[in-house]
Chain A
Amino acid sequence: MSDDKNNGMSRRDALKLLGAVPLTGALHWTPEAISRATHVLQQDDAEAPKVRPKFFTAHEDATVRILVDLIIPRDERSGSATDARVPEFMDYMLGEATEMNRVEMRGGLAWLDTECRTRFNANFVNCTDAQRRQLLDDISWPEKARPEMSHGVAFFNSFRDFTASGFFSSQMGWKDVRYIGNVFNPNWNGCPTEVLHQLGVSYDS
């Protein structure tokens, strides 16, 4: 890939920038720069040899890629679920080990298509963004969902959990939630003052 296509940003620059974001609190980087950086990485991934899904069919894979990014989109702090390779993670988990039930997954994706065809006369992948969101609005809030949406709600609860498992267990996800544990700390002086202050407690009282 030539750097010209990405305003002079190389993969190395992009990785450096995204790697620095959680530590610097994104102070030095504009959302545009971050968006460009994740774009660079995604393009690079696209050029890398693709892992052919073992569990998902090509159509399911396309559906999953859209769905996971609707659930966890790219934002100013981190990339999207596909950036963190969540679809590959899901395919691996479903193909090699079983966590989320395979029938539940396959049937849930089929339910999504059926519902989209009923409403919009098109499969999920061929719907517009607005149409997809209209459907997700109906199944992503269990307490507000209409009873006839129960199958979609059950599928979406599991699928959302699965997406979060994949995203937040990735390196990108750890950085996103600023997980610091398991890092050697030679100067441990107890809880940092600013944290004590935030919690409204102190070691003196």
Chain B
Amino acid sequence: MVNRMPHNEDGTGGNHIYMPWTKDNKKLDFPRGYHIEVGGGFDAPSYGFMGGIQRYPNAGGYGKSLKDDYRRYFGASVGFAGRGEMIPSDDCYCELDPKVVDKYGIPVLRFHWKWSDHEINQAKHMQETFRSIVAEMGGEVFSPMPTRERDYGLAAGGTIIHELGATRMGNDPTKSVLNKNCQAHDVKNLFVADGGPFVSQADKNPTWTILALAWRTSDYITQQRKAGAL
């Protein structure tokens, strides 16, 4: 990869190449799994080109040698990103704020949220896996393993934004907002057809599941309407 002969192609790329989860996680210290997204290649040099060059092996400084570093390493790096499933946690919930209202006088939502050991252990597993893949490929890892104090590189909550849940579905009205047809337990003619009904934060991008659930909800509404129940 280093010093590769240039030709008319952009190299590896496509950040949404998925490496799906295939492991049995019964013996691991976290539930569910994660997928891996891979990036790299000769993308058109643009803003942010090879940022952090000082992290590349024996690269940095300034002048002619630095210019050669950029040339040598252009297109020679492969990056990995992990996206893991987060199962529901009692520490993550929203409630009506006891003091703050919006401009209509309606109490606003207040959110409580934090990572559990599950996600932190999962991030550690990701880091170890990515590093072993690079080693197997004959590559050189050039970012240090993040420490436990830095949650093994786990991004701050809300950074990777696929907002899901908060009006989750379930059979028990004391533990869920919606029933299995995404209909509110408390208000019969209220349906939620977005990411709200999700019961966990899956590792996959949610759009297709949102569409599928909305479709099913639409069928249910049609059927109930025809039966005169709505």
Query: Residues of A with Cβ closer than 8 Å to B?
Result: 70-73, 75, 77, 99, 136-137, 140-142, 157, 160-161, 164-165, 168-169, 173-174, 176-183, 185, 188, 191-192, 194-195, 198-199
Contact = CB atoms under 8 A, between A and B. Distances in A.
Given A161-B51, A195-B4, 20 more contacts: A70-B62, A70-B63, A71-B62, A140-B54, A140-B62, A142-B54, A157-B52, A160-B60, A160-B62, A161-B53, A164-B49, A164-B53, A165-B49, A165-B51, A176-B71, A178-B6, A180-B6, A181-B43, A195-B7, A199-B4
A157 B6 CA distance: 28
B22 interface: no
Contacts of A199: 4
Main secondary structure of the interface of A (DSSP, over half): loop
Contact of A191 (B9, B44, B46, B60): B9
Interface in B180-219: none
B107 interface: no
A174 B52 CA distance: 19
B54 A141 contact: yes
Nearest to B55: A142
A185 B51 CA distance: 30
A181 B53 contact: no
Given A157-B52, A161-B51, A177-B71, A75 B64 contact: yes
Contacts of A198: 4-5
A141 B67 contact: no
Contacts, number: 97
Interface of B: 4-10, 42-54, 60-64, 66-67, 70-71, 74
Given A141-B61, A168-B70, A198-B5, A181 B10 contact: yes
Contacts of B8: 180-181, 183, 185, 188
Given A157-B52, A161-B52, A195 B5 contact: yes
B134 to A, nearest CB: 17
